[in-house]
């Protein structure tokens, strides 16, 4: 008996076609208004990381700070060109 040739019966519970519901005005899965807190948290983590590295080596702290400063300037430059 070859199972690959047999046709499987369709389940009565399985839908025949996928139906899409129209999207409401606001998506409940997207957090609205949390961007500000996320940016504050990211900046806080970056400052904590630089401070932790600076505790061990001042040169590395200055290098990371300079790289971040240069990155911000380059990002701004490329966005406005």
Per-residue pLDDT of the chain (81 residues; tens, 9 = 90+): 555 666 656 555 555 666 667 566 777 777 777 788 888 998 899 889 888 888 888 888 888 889 989 999 999 999 988
Burial of 28 (0-12, 13-18, 19+ CB in 10 A): exposed
CA separation (Å) from 39 to 42, 47, 80?
Answer: 5, 12, 22
Alpha-carbon distance 21 to 14, whole Å?
17
């Amino acid at each position: 008996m070859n199972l690959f040739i047999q046709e499987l019966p369709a389940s009565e519970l399985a839908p025949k076609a996928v139906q899409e519901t129209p999207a409401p005005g606001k998506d409940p899965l997207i957090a609205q208004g949390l961007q500000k807190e996320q940016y504050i948290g990211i900046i806080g983590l970056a400052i904590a990381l630089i401070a932790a590295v600076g505790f061990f080596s001042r040169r590395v702290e200055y290098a990371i700070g300079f790289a971040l400063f240069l990155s911000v300037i380059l990002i701004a430059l490329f966005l406005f060109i």
